[in-house]
Amino acid sequence: MPTSLLPHLGPPGLPVASCAALWATDVLAGRTPPEEWPDRLPETLDAVTPELAARSPELLAAWRDLGEHQVIAALPSPGRPGLVPLGRALIEAGSSAAVGVLVAPSLGDGLVLLASEFGTSQDGGVLLDAVRVDCPPVPAARVEMHDRRSVQRTLTEALRAGTEHLESIAAPPVWTGAGAGGLSPSSAPELPAGVPGEMVDLLERAAAVAAATTAGLATASASLASTTGRARSLNRLRDAALDALEGATMAAGRSLR
């Protein structure tokens, strides 16, 4: 899987699952036709399979007709419970190619998004497919409990604690230096118009932390003790960033309903 897909999977840095969930919610609200949903997916993806292009509009229309109001995104990663409960069958279906899961919370229906490379390095790209799975319904209260302020507060606290720990072991945060300026240009043009700008900012911030910690985990510190402590701290931060992405996607989706 290309490094650029993990975990910042959409232009200029949001997960494909987050972008796809927000556009799916826009479909359920009647503003975007179901058949246009595949064309709204991030340009990071070069193509979708013919099967996904044909099946996804039918599935979204069925969810809408059954009364679903919002699609939420799960970003599963090893050892992290996440904010969205994933059934065993769903986890098994989401192989190493999985880049996220779209969940119809009241229906207990899910779509595991799978990305794979095709072609050559000179003439190829990333292809998106999906596997439909059953998953546990998500109570409405669990979806509603995540708002911008609570998500932002939790992420800020995780950043503060992580930065303090990294400094205590003389391991500088991976987001210092040339790459500390955040993501640019804004993701707003790639998302439904109803997503508030402050939610876009929060999504981008969480995605930037997830991307930086993922990159940081690929490098080692000067000593074994420092490397172990640094990896533990970065893993906690990455989990917090992915939680923030899931929570912020839920909160942003409510603005589209």
188-227 tens-digit pLDDT: 668 999 999 999 999 999 998 888 888 888 776 555 556 7
* Cα 228 from Cα 226, distance rounded (Å): 5
Percent of the chain predicted with pLDDT > 90:
56
User: Among candidates 107, 25, 110, which has minimal Cα distance to 66?
Assistant: 107
8 pLDDT higher than 70: no
Q: Over range 92-114, report the average pLDDT.
A: 87
Q: Which of these, 70, 72, 96, lies nearest to 86 by C-alpha position?
A: 72
* Region for residue 114 given its phi and psi (left: phi exceeds 0; alpha: psi -120 to 50; beta: otherwise): beta
The pLDDT of 30-40, averaged and rounded, is 97
Q: Give the pTM.
A: 0.89
